[in-house]
Every structure is written in C-alpha cells, then in structure tokens.
Structure 1
Amino acid sequence: MRIVLVGPPGAGKGTQAALLAQRLDIPHISTGDLFRANISQGTELGRQVESILRSGGLVPDEVTIAMAADRMAKPDAEDGFLLDGFPRNIGQAKALDALLVEQGLRLDAVLDLEVPEDEVVKRIAGRRTCRKDSSHTFHVEYKQPKAEGVCDECGGELYQRDDDQEETVRKRLAIYHEETEPIIDYYREQGLVVTIPALAPVPEVTRRALAALPERAV
C-alpha cells in the first residue's frame, strides 16, 4: 500500500501518519524526519541540506526528491509506505510518479485531511511549547496545563513560538494554498484522492481514513 497524506498545517498529518503507518505495517516517511536523519548521519545530501538551512534558504526540489527516493528504496518500504510532507508541489508529485513508474508501481491513495482554515489557525496559534523540552506541548483551549504558563511534565515555562503566531500561521496557509494544494487536483485527475473530514477526535479521523482506503489495504 503506497499512500500520500496531504492537508494544511495543523490538520494533524503527523499524528495520523504515524497511526496509519502502524496500523498498515508500512513505514511513515516524513520529509522533516528525512532531513534530520541525513543531517545527523552526515550524508552528502544531509550536508547539502544543513548548509542550505543554515543560510536560511529553501531546500531545492531535487534534494528533497533524492532523499525521498533513497528512503523509499529501503527494504522496509518494499511493500509500501506512507508519505507525509512529500510531495509538496506539482514538480515533486510528477517526480514521484516517475520514480514509481520506473519500478512498475503506482500510488494506491491520496488522503486529503480537510480542516476549516479558522480551525487550523486556532489549533496552531493556541499551542504553547515548553522552553525546557519542546516535545511538551499544551493548548490554551484543548490541552490546558494545570498551572497557567507552567509545563505539567517538567515545570518549564510555556511560551508561544514565533512560527505559531497567527500572522505566521496565515502566511504558512497561503503558501500551502499556492504550492501544495494544487497537487490535490493533480491526483484527483488520477482518481486517487479521498477527502477525510479531520475536524474530529484523533481515533475517529483514523477510522475514517482507514475506511476510505482500498479494501486490500486494511
């Protein structure tokens, strides 16, 4: 089963990707994880990415595609994978199609997590992160700490990251609409897109996504 997961920032792609990959017993391939892994391992691609990010630039499509292709060629991805964060634009989508065609393969489904824009802004702008450990996150509405401004886990100060500010979130959404959203129509023309209403508890969104997959996948 070969799946692409798409959706705006704050739609819960990372959470759903991990759950679906575990349920389907296929690797969850995230571009963010690929960048970090290649950088930490000191690969040639990792050195390129690290240099680009340090200079404040954007990672070129060809580098992202090369990393994704290398990861999809690993033995654990032989029977399938779930892509999260790739492809990010039409160029990457066409490159992915070409990679799969070379191997006599094709995508089985593109799951589009649908969340209203105002909800996306509320989810992200309301997030608060612990200064001591960034993996400790809370929310002003959905996951409030016991003591305001204090992390339940370690007592660290909770703060709003710059990229969680509403203005920044709306800019990220504008980029998503301009660059990534067009791939949904691209894949819809191939009959691969299933839209999943994602304004629901995590388990329910997972259930909807699994139900939407071809029967042989579940």
Structure 2
Amino acid sequence: MLNLVLFGPPGAGKGTQSQKLIARYNLVHLSTGDLLRAQITQGTELGLRAKKLMDEGLLVPDEVVIGMIGSALKTNKQASGFIFDGFPRTVPQAESLDRLLAEHETKVSCMVALEVAEEELVKRLLERGKTSGRPDDQDETKIRKRVTVYNTETAQVAGYYATQQKFHALNGIGAIEDIFGQICGILDQHQPAATEGSRQATDEVKA
C-alpha cells in the first residue's frame, strides 16, 4: 500500500497535485479540510465547532481529526493507498497516525513537502479567495496567521519524518507537470514495485 503525506503551507498546490496523483496511483484522497468542510455544510455539531476554529485560523482538536481519518480508512479498506493532505499537522498527530495505520497493518510510505515563500502564498490564496467562497482565503491577516501556524507548528513534522528517512522537500513554484514528475519519482523510490506503468509514465513526464 502506498501512503503519501503531502505537505506544505496553505496555497502550496497540494490540492492540484493530489488530483493528479490520485489518477496516476489510484489513491484515496483524505483531506481533513474537505472532511471538515463537509461537516460544516451539513451543519453538524462538529461542523459548527470546526467552522469557528477554522475562521480564526486555528487547528481542530487531534481526537476529532484522528476519528475522521480512522473512519475513512475503514470505509476504504480495498484502496491501493492514501494521500494525507493537511494531516498530520503536529508531531503528536504524526505519532497518532503511525499508530492508527499500524492498526490497519500499513504505514506512511513517505512525506513530500512543497515549499513556497510566504508572499507567493498570500498572493495565491487571495486570488483563490475570489472564487473559493472561503472567508479564510479572503482576509490577508488570516492568511498570514495560517502560514505562521504552519511555520511554527506544522513544519516540525518534517523533522519527525526525516528521522524515518521518509522526508522529501520540493520547490512548489514551477510548472505543475514538472512538480508532478518529481513527486512521482519520489513515490516510485519508496515503492519500487508500485507498477512498471507508473514508472514509465513518470519517465514520460520528465522527458
């Protein structure tokens, strides 16, 4: 099973790359942000609680997120693997994810972090906010707060995966296909037997 933690600050391009990776490797996309927003749309108690925190640029409690991830794993038992997008955000969450995956007899294959400078992130998110309808994409102060949260808390997770020889950093600025090809190259290294077709397609992207 191929399990990728796709990492990076808000606006780094994780969503775009996730969709391409899903198509290439037949993975299930687990975005905690999407799961939470679904709860918000449904108006559940969890959704209302999450909305207040998200609007303030704060993180949702670990136990809530872990519970959602666990349910998703059970629902997709036949999956070829998962892309964890937006999770884990802290070292304790990474440790909890390792324990959760072990219960399902699998583990994180690797972590890929897309690195983008803050000013570029602000520019991207403000532009996205024109169509996303998300209030946290339309307020520069909230955007910078989200980036600060990432830099001070979330980025520490990189060190956690580095000790497991699973961390890879990539420049998140450039042509989408070029970045995609680099990610595929990393995934194939961590799962040599992924599929010959995937490796051949990756070579075609790089060519």
Task: Choose between structure 1 and 2: higher helix proportion.
Answer: 2
What's the offset of the Cα at 1:115? Answer: 1.5
Give, in whole Å, the separation in 1 of the partners of 2:74 and 2:136.
36
**Structure 1 alignment gaps of length 5 or more:** 136-159
Contact 2:3 2:110 in 1 (8 A): yes
Residue type at the aligned position of 1:50: G
Give, in whole Å, the separation in 1 of the partners of 2:183 and 2:171.
9
Equivalent runs, 1:35-184 vs 2, <5 Å: 35-38=36-39, 47-53=44-50, 56-57=52-53, 59-75=60-76, 78-127=79-128, 129-130=130-131, 134=132, 163-184=137-158
Give, in whole Å, the separation in 2 of the partners of 1:104 and 1:195.
27
SS in 1 for 2:27: coil
Give, in whole Å, the separation in 1 of the partners of 2:140 and 2:78.
37
Misfit runs of 4+, over 4 Å = none
2:56 aligns to what? none
- In structure 2, relative to structure 1, the CA distance for the partners of 1:8 and 1:128 (3 Å cut) is closer
What's the offset of the Cα at 1:60? Answer: 1.5
What's the offset of the Cα at 1:82? Answer: 0.7
Give, in whole Å, the separation in 1 of the partners of 2:63 and 2:101.
16
Residue type at the aligned position of 1:216: A
Residue type at the aligned position of 2:30: I
- In structure 2, relative to structure 1, the CA distance for the partners of 1:118 and 1:36 (3 Å cut) is closer
Residue type at the aligned position of 2:138: D
Query: 2:158 aligned with 1:212, yes or no?
Result: no
TM-score when normalising by structure 2 = 0.79
**Structure 2 alignment gaps of length 5 or more:** 54-58, 199-207
Identity of aligned residues (%): 38
Residue type at the aligned position of 1:164: Q
- Among 187, 201, 204, the alignment partner of 2:161 is 187
What's the offset of the Cα at 1:126? Answer: 4.3
- In structure 2, relative to structure 1, the CA distance for the partners of 1:108 and 1:172 (3 Å cut) is same
RMSD (Å), alpha carbons: 2.4
SS in 2 for 1:176: helix
Contact 2:128 2:137 in 1 (8 A): no
Contact 1:27 1:76 in 2 (8 A): no
- In structure 2, relative to structure 1, the CA distance for the partners of 1:51 and 1:164 (3 Å cut) is closer
Contact 1:69 1:99 in 2 (8 A): yes
Give, in whole Å, the separation in 1 of the partners of 2:21 and 2:176.
11
- In structure 2, relative to structure 1, the CA distance for the partners of 1:117 and 1:70 (3 Å cut) is same
TM-score when normalising by structure 1 = 0.75
